[in-house]
Structure 1
Amino acid sequence: MKLAVSTLALPRERPAEWLPKIADMGFAGVEVSPSWTWGTNGAEPDNSTVSVFRQKARQAGLAIVGLHSLLHGQTGMGLLQGAEARHKAVEFVVRMSQVCRDLGGRTLILGGERFRRTVGEHSAWAELASFFDAVLPRIENHGTLLCLDPLGPASADFCRRAAECRMLINYLDHPSLGYQLNSAVIVANGDTGHSTFAALRGQLDIFHVAEPGLQAIASSKQIDHADFRRHLAAISFAEWLCLHQQAGAAPGDELENGLRLLRHYYLRRDNLNLDRLRQQTAAATQLAPQSITG
């Protein structure tokens, strides 16, 4: 697994200046939150901002993983909020895909409180499908992946569980769709069983290591990171593992401690009992219905 960190863990003042520092600490990549990093509100950052960020990352030897929390902090746009809000969300996500491409990134994570249903369930599924049908053909040539990410009950009341998101991805069946998991969300949704991971073997594009409220890793005592390591190892996950925590008063110390704990929990080579977990993976039932409208 490759270790990255979200820009949420960097100070908002000149975050690009921190890229050499996080590379020196030992991170291999950085994932960008547009609203935190650039203060975007319905508009993409200008070309010079993107160019400087890309150049700083390249000089530091950091890979730019992608963009996350695209809909967080964006006003007047969203899903299940009417045609105008959906249209603005479509245009914004397409522009963010272009920014991601220009940065050299690959994954796009929607995020935000996107699924607050105000219509019937059938209509809600249809509207979600319409959103993705509008976005995906326009980003296919960018080489990016729009990753549907499960959300906790505080952030969504529809299409938030891992199985629901997987069902929608399987139904749409598009090469520009990807999948992300987040440790804090998995716990909040009660999806900690191995079947959540087994169903995504070979399909999981990025894993966010996070605590409730973006606290420092392991601080809440609610998340068994060692158990998540075993599940990820059992499905041979080798993609980006990204640390998500909020920048505090001492970001340098917080970053170094976060990286130390990432390595401790997720890169240890102790007895993982992988044979048993791989047997569970092989035996797990694939909960991926072929239709969301039947």
Structure 2
Amino acid sequence: MEIAFTRAQRRKLASQIFVGVCVAAAGIALIALGLIMFSLFTKGFSGIDTMVFTHDTPGPDSHGGLRNAIVGSIMMCTLAMMIAVFIGVLAGTWLAEIGGDSKYGHAVRFLNDVLLSAPSILIGLFIYEMMVRPMHGFSGWAGAVALGVLATPVVTRTTEDILNLQPNALREAGMALGASQWVTVRKIIWKAASAGLLTGGLLGFARISGETAPILFTSLNNQFFSTDMSQPIASLPVVIYQFAMSPFDIWQELAWAGALLITATVLAINILGRWVARDKDHR
């Protein structure tokens, strides 16, 4: 016995199947995320104590902390974001307000998209050839530049998208008052898009905070506490990589603790970015 479906019934059935597949995919992703967070919390929380923040990375099979790695990561990521925000905001503003529709603008946008999806290890190798080899040594400066190159396309793309969402009435109002295009962008458009620009910066920071490959090619590592950016400097991702591969239980415990710290930081940054954008939308 054949069951005939009307066109409306077929569309409804197809819609229900599509929604069901989407819900199932989202559920699988949430389950995977929950399992990752559960593993990090159960294995990393026991290793977090005051020693983690007050002592440097230890020698083999001895107690210590992650102070030098935490400070090194903060220093390199901060400098990298200064580079990324300066270049990314200006580049995104140019694409959105000035030359985005020109051939040069399309080329810049295409190259930015390519850089956005480029493997981080290639960026590390490029900075190694540009900075590490000519300077005859690894350094925190090289690590910060590599991370800045990774974060810049994120900030550029976010800036362009946010500025394109701003109503043209704001630009017309600034021009009507006799303000130049630069003054209009700087005092009106950027101010109106401030929450989105901040979100782009936070997303860029979250993008680079856990990178390991470019750091291995640029700043390498340092077992001791150091704030000299001209020398090799420690970072959390590299310490996690080194300690997780070791046979020492103390090192593995510190690796899990460091992984939990990075994950919690990235999660907090993403939540903060969402909250800032949502708070701005409700005003």
TM-score > 0.5 by shorter chain: no
Using structure 1 for the length normalisation, give the TM-score: 0.24
The structure whose residues are more often helix, as a share, is: 2
Instruction: Flag the structure with more relative contact order, 1 or 2, with Cα contacts below 8 A and sequence separation at least 6.
Output: 2
Choose between structure 1 and 2: higher strand proportion: 1
Which structure's CA Rg is the greater one? 2
- TM-score normalised by length of structure 2: 0.25
